[in-house]
Structure 1
């Protein structure tokens, strides 16, 4: 079964979202969505005999409808071509966030919600998902400060509104403010010829210099291939000194998040955040990070010594003194080590991963695994010509599932990394019909050149597989309430389903399905696949220690009970101590572009490694043991992990899929520590 292309004419009416909005329409969308939601809140607050049907159900439906407007505006901030539309999206996002603060602090609404929550007879009549909805709503109001005295509640409202304002500004800067450097051709020695295809130049004193930006397709290859240390260092500094205004923003955010938490009776922002996550406490997250740090440190030290030896040998061969091993040397010598030890040459591997073929091949794997039928839409209504749109149907029935979009190439003003936006949740409308989910993925993979189609590195392939995992988590969830749809699971579990699916990028049987040479059409050679797999854990110690360091940094600035922390220096100090990074004589502030700290992942970054324990266990216990192409395992995975979304605890879903509680044995083995 392969993906086919057909016109947009079969999907249910009203399932397609309109992204073709002017700046004024974006703001009108926000204002109208807020007006409608406020009207529901006003009506519910007047209910004299609160029940699930008269209070909770309308609030749940209104929540789903409001999120469509909010998510559309938030998405346009990250992908719209017109800067005026992006700016309008930011203004709309501020309106939504301010309204969220307002709505969350409505004592009159909380009164009727709590009346349902405390009505034992009413609660006993509800099914598990609806009972969970009541419990989560009631908890949200308490966590929003509804039990505080009026004066403290007003203080809290002001703090929340300022946090919202700062988060929006932080993320806007991180998304839009790219850095650039100019290099003469000789300064880019070592770069493959394809790097220069279509690359812009600028005249500097009569010398044509190449423009290299901080976008991934520019900066990542340079970090790995530029032979001159001075070039790598220059680019590292440019990348690490973007968005200087984000440092004072983050400093203020840390203080305000702490103030918010302490107003609510928590010792720290991390304690407040983790109350509703799998970890439950900051200490549990800290213990996980420190345990992994201890296990990884000896491996990281050995790997670092190998990389230092490679640089020292290069210095000796050039007759130059060895001056040390720095942050800008790591990607370059990790690539060199991989080539020397495993004969894995990134440029050679890229020839077998044309983006179009890889995308279609991965979608084929997903639809077969999950029992879906994917249809690419011909001439779709999208926000940019690069964007592809897809319909998803059940494979064995004429039943529509939802839409998704892929926006895979960089452009000015677009989100800088790779992520998925759940634009619309799937849920039951009051009339019994269904709202269909919509998700969109944005990434920054290379564009086609004059001599070749868009070609992916193997790291890009892993990223694509991962982000598509988020897409299908959003599409395959099937819950009654929007609150629980798709990736609305505990944040320290949300990465696990996607991380699990990264494994297919390392499976020879999967790679042979879509890895074909872009010129000859020949499948990727078996020996190249074997070398790729053998090199999988090359640098695993240092790479995972970097993740540990970022998690510890997040905890250091958000688990503080005093707020006495320098957000700029803390990142560098922890990176030196934990990730063994030497910044040399540079003055950088990488925290300014650490987008996760701008909102959504504060005190949650540990979740990337936390959830990898579950992803590794799911893959090893079921898919590897029973077959990566097993329809039964794929359907079990869809039913027990994807379909429930957040309608039950993630641990319950894991136990149902695994048949037992998860352990970390498979994870340690997967990174070479077992």
Structure 2
């Protein structure tokens, strides 16, 4: 059994080592293609291992560039992207490999196991979606497009990170910070020339703190304006990316990028996606209008976009007698993490043991995951916000569970990255309940990868899972962050050690679906905008016009004209969600059904939880999620349960 991946990146020699690895890979491909009688073991498996090793190597750089961004990591990452993209594009268009895969699948179909069949099926589809079967002129153009796309996506992300890092707003009047939680004030406070001042930034913990609790409307608008106008240069990148995606799709025989995207997803066609999203809008809008009327009743003026978080917090306190700040002492980061591990032990009979290895940041952590006392995988965590770290939260897989060509087992490893309020001196990291939900969400992704028992790396863990199903395990787990049985495991006051009172849990549960319909409309706005944006070519002002037209249907409070949300929509322009943001809602339908099946059985010692572990988590991408889901639940998912979960029906 192998050791875990060594998380060490030598920036000085990275490009040189990358080129050496790729040259070696190219020679290996040439050698493999000369094999006269190709089969899965002597041809497919070595290529699969080659991909796994390269991904492990490159992921370390991309991870470092996200969590410890510097001029040096930017330079090395930007220089590496074209090299890797050129290599992977040429490999994915290699007609000889494509033909060999098809021949092996035809000849060995009866002797291959399910995992091996799935590897071949997905690879053959991947080759076709890369244009391997097309003429050399088209393939050359596709290579140019892929190279440019990767560069533009990186530029989009870096522009956003730079804009976030560069901004600060200094408050000098103590009246302007009245009502802001003490832990947030402690992080914002600094002294200059003997004067106490407060710095607010566009990093999430800081931004959310003022937008939710800051009484000064002018400061809220200034922060909001700065946030929604970040990286204006990304508008030109969007135009170029959309044009390139459209051209690529047409060269590959698709009408548009949305159609191309669906070729590898669960959803069957464009109309089914739009119908699904529009049905959710029609069922959510009446309640959303009611929620907005409630919100408007507590203010004597028309609501602006930069007012909603502030007045929503006031309404939440009034309606449920709940103050989010009262909960944060019960959600100290370390306590939440330990309790999360205890919950997972009770749910899935798995355990975590902390390591002491030195990592990329002193606050980063690592744990080994055990099942029945047997080491299965390693989990890394980087949970606190800091300068030079990309915003948001995500899970990334460092390595996949697999058996290599020599029969040696390799264990999986994954990282969870969040941007929680940072601990500072004697001030601990006290989370909002939303942060707890985020941790559970990303933990769901991590478990999907780390608990895989698949032996083929190409379909192990999250690999090979359809993009519109990949959010299913994360959303399934996040729902438990509201369950009283689960909260009592870790919601302990960090000073008094008192377990959170039952009445506080009851208030939290009652407030779970506070403004859920408004939140649903917001996510549906993003989903429809993304999908329609990629369903036909949009240029220049047409992008904003499309967003405005969708907002007529979804945005009950009209955003100001300066709001350029699209310039910060990194999920679709710098991530993997282009024409796939609908996946969050699509997968929520799966997760709602699965969640209710476990809750109805009392959560702990649930037979459904055991089946979920065995069928969904351990199977990774070895079968289509459509097949796995039916094996797990015995039926197709019911969209009504998503609305039930959100309290809309």
Native 8 Å contact 2:342 2:489 kept in 1:
no
How far the C-alpha of 1:228 sits from its partner, in A, is 2.0
Mean alpha-carbon deviation: is it higher for 257-266 or for 635-644? 635-644
Deviation at 1:645, TM superposition (A): 0.8
Question: Secondary structure of 2:109's partner?
Answer: helix
Contact 1:78 1:86 in 2 (8 A): no
User: TM-score scaled to structure 1, two decimals?
Assistant: 0.92
Q: Of residues 117, 124, 127 in structure 1, which corresponds to 2:110?
A: 124
SS at match of 2:397: strand
Q: Is the 8 Å Cα contact of residues 397 and 415 (structure 2) preserved in structure 1?
A: yes
**For 1:408, what is the secondary structure of its paired residue?**
strand
Q: Aligned equivalents of 1:455 and 1:593: distance in 2?
A: 27
Q: How far apart are 1:344 and its partner, in Å?
A: 1.1
2:362 to 366, 372, 385: 385
1:274 aligns with 2:262: yes
Higher mean displacement: 174-183 or 548-557: 174-183
1:24-423 map, 5 Å: 24-80=12-68, 82-117=70-105, 119=106, 121-178=107-164, 179-185=167-173, 186-201=175-190, 209-312=197-300, 322=301, 324-378=302-356, 380-394=357-371, 396-397=372-373, 399-423=374-398
Q: What displacement does 1:357 show?
A: 0.2
Match of 2:456 among 469, 473, 481: 481
- Once residues 19 and 349 of structure 2 are traced to their aligned partners in structure 1, the CA distance between those partners, rounded to angstroms, is 39
Asked if the contact 1:188–1:231 (Cα under 8 Å) also holds between the matched residues in 2, the reply is no
Contact 2:381 2:415 in 1 (8 A): yes
Contact 2:414 2:449 in 1 (8 A): yes
Question: Mind listing any 5+ residue stretches in structure 2 that lack a counterpart?
Answer: none
Count residues in correspondence: 644
Change (3 A) 1:330 1:275: same
Cα RMSD over matched residues? 2.0
In the alignment, the residues of structure 2 paired with residue 105 and residue 171 of structure 1 have an alpha-carbon distance, to the nearest angstrom, of: 27
Preserved contact between residue 242 and residue 537 of structure 2 (Cα < 8 Å) = no
Return closer, same or farther for 1:285/1:613 CA change in 2, 3 Å cut-off: same
CA contact (8 A) 2:188 2:206 kept: no
Tell me which residue corresponds to 2:522.
546
Per-residue deviation, 1:447:
1.6
Aligned residues of 1:33 and 1:65 also touching (Cα < 8 A): no
**Contact map agreement 2:333 2:429 (CA 8 A) in 1:** yes
Q: Distance in 2 between matches of 1:564 and 1:213?
A: 30
State the 1:207 CA deviation: 7.6
Distance 1:82 1:256, change over 3 A: closer
What is aligned with 1:595? 570
Partner residue in 2 for 1:557: 533
- Measure the CA separation in 2 of the matches of 1:200 and 1:593: 28
Cα offset for 1:199? Answer: 2.3
* C-alpha distance in structure 2 between counterparts of 1:225 and 1:572, whole Å: 29
Alpha-carbon distance, 1:89 to partner: 3.0
Aligned-pair distance for 1:342?
0.5
- CA displacement at 1:49 relative to structure 2: 2.5
d(CA) in 1 for partners of 2:519, 2:68: 33
Do 2:256 and 2:536's aligned partners in 1 also have CA atoms closer than 8 Å? yes
| Partners of 1:29 and 1:69 within 8 A in 2 | no
Q: CA deviation at 1:122?
A: 2.0
CA 1:81/1:246 → structure 2, altered by over 3 Å: closer, same or farther? closer
Distance 1:636 1:17 in 2: 33
What's the CA shift for 1:198?
A: 4.1
Structure 1 window deviating more from structure 2 (435-444 vs 52-61): it is: 52-61
**Alpha-carbon distance change, 646 to 214 in structure 1, aligned in 2, over 3 angstroms:** same
- 1:336 offset after TM fit, Å? 1.4
Residue 92 of structure 1: how far off its partner (Å): 2.4
**Pick from 590, 600, 607: which aligns with 1:614?**
590
Describe the SS at the equivalent of 2:50: helix
- Give, in whole Å, the separation in 2 of the partners of 1:202 and 1:242: 28
Say whether 1:646 aligns with 2:611.
Answer: no
